[in-house]
Structure 1
Amino acid sequence: MLNKPTWSILAVTVGISLTACKILPTQSADGGDAAAFNPDKMVEEIWAAKVVPYLQQKAGPFPEVHALAKTDPAAAGAKYGNPNKQANSPWTFTVRLEGEIVAANTQSRAATVDVDVDGDGKADARVQIGPAMRGTALRDSLDFVQFNDFTNQIDFAQFGKAFNAYAGKTVLSKLPRDALEGRTAKILGAYTLESGQDLPLVTPAEAEIGPKP
């Protein structure tokens, strides 16, 4: 049997865990709840009105953002990302990136292009062009999206994946896939600063690839 002090500790612990997320409507087992959580629809509804304008206003030139991110991630995050992020989450930055494609991997569903931004012939960033994409950088860069607005971690994760899916469907699916090396790329997107990264991995919200040289 637990004594009273132990019960008190348990009560506080349970109270903290229950207040970690807001309780929002979730889908019933038969899918009949009209207010069911639908991350794809949520992203579609805010994409043009809020997401793209936010990224356009917040993004900085990739060389400038990345230089600051490597020396002072918090300052870079406050200026170019989401200063309201969860304390234990890595910083995510919004960027404009323009340069020459020096390598392309389109054999995988997780296709990417490597872009030389400074003209030295070497890749400075890797851009995801899908259809499969890693991470939740687009979601995490937005200061109006907070974890506590969601019922639980699963819903929050699904919402992050929905950004990638929407960008893939509406933007990246229209990009050419052949003979990409030597073409120019113009990107508006976001990336997360992670240790051990070979190149910053940028997830686009807008993307253009120029004609064959």
Structure 2
Amino acid sequence: MPNKLTWLTLGLPLAALAGLSLSACKILPTPSAQGGGSDNSSAFNPDKRVKDIWASKVIPYLQQKAGPFAEVHALAKTDPAAAGAKYGNPKKQANSPWTFAVRVEGKIIAANTQSRAATIDVDVDGDGKADARVQIGPAMRGTAIRDSLDFVQFNDFTNQIDFAQFGKAFNAYADKMVLSKLSRDGLEGRTAKVLGAYTIESAQNLPLVTPAEAEIGPKP
């Protein structure tokens, strides 16, 4: 004969029985797409990766590879491949534009510091006209620093999103370490000294340089 518990169970509605069975289940978190759950120490961290190579690899590479802006730009306009091989990343993807490492030194003749995408226009040859536009952040366009490095290749990354985030992380680190410390007051007429990179774009009026190092001279 069924015991008392059995009779009680048989007398329960179907919905109550379902509730009892669910109460015995343990709900587990869904693992993340990166494969590690909510605490995934192995997930791709572009900011840390940039920090780890900035002083040891990025800056020495740019210092060794960069040429004076006027020299680099003159060659880039006539023979981009030759300029890229000498001043950039000859291992770039075939369909990517050339990116060049440069030193920009000259007089600031215009400054836009009202926008988060702040810039200075620099005259490098003393003719009173701007030759290059330098981004001084905090918001910066493009991935020129990443793209100028011959030891950074797309195939080294899991996907395009990681590669893009890595490119943006260079800009963020440059802003944190260098650009955020620059003066924003009375820039016109002062001198600028920049180590960075730029990509030739057909639509731009001035070459847009992303700095890895930058100095602003005193007011004249």
Shared topology, TM-score over 0.5? yes
Alignment of 1:75-90 (within 5 A): 75-90=82-97
Q: Report the residue type matching 1:165 in the other structure.
A: A
Matches of 2:103 and 2:37, distance apart in 1: 44
Paired position in structure 1 for 2:206: 199
Contact 2:145 2:170 survives alignment (8 Å):
yes
Q: Please say which structure displays the higher CA radius of gyration.
A: 2
Matches of 2:66 and 2:117, distance apart in 1: 24
Q: Report the residue type matching 2:178 in the other structure.
A: V
Matched, 1:133 2:136: no
Instruction: Could you tell me which runs of 5 or more consecutive residues in structure 2 were left unpaired when the two chains were aligned.
Output: 1-31
Q: TM-score, normalised by structure 1?
A: 0.87
Paired position in structure 1 for 2:169: 162
Matches of 1:32 and 1:129, distance apart in 2: 35
Contact 1:26 1:35 survives alignment (8 Å):
no
Paired position in structure 2 for 1:112: 119
Matches of 2:33 and 2:104, distance apart in 1: 38
Judged with a 3 Å threshold, the aligned counterparts in structure 2 of structure 1 residues 30 and 73 are, in CA distance, closer, same or farther, namely same
Equivalent of 1:147, from 147, 154, 158?
A: 154
Matched, 1:57 2:67: no
Matched, 1:46 2:53: yes
Give the total of aligned pairs.
189
Instruction: Could you tell me which runs of 5 or more consecutive residues in structure 1 were left unpaired when the two chains were aligned.
Output: 1-24
Paired position in structure 1 for 2:181: 174
Matches of 2:109 and 2:155, distance apart in 1: 41
Deviation (angstroms), 1:31: 3.9
* Secondary structure of the structure 2 residue equivalent to 1:118: coil
Matches of 2:56 and 2:204, distance apart in 1: 32
User: Which has the bigger relative contact order, CA under 8 A and spacing at least 6?
Assistant: 1
Q: Report the residue type matching 2:166 in the other structure.
A: F
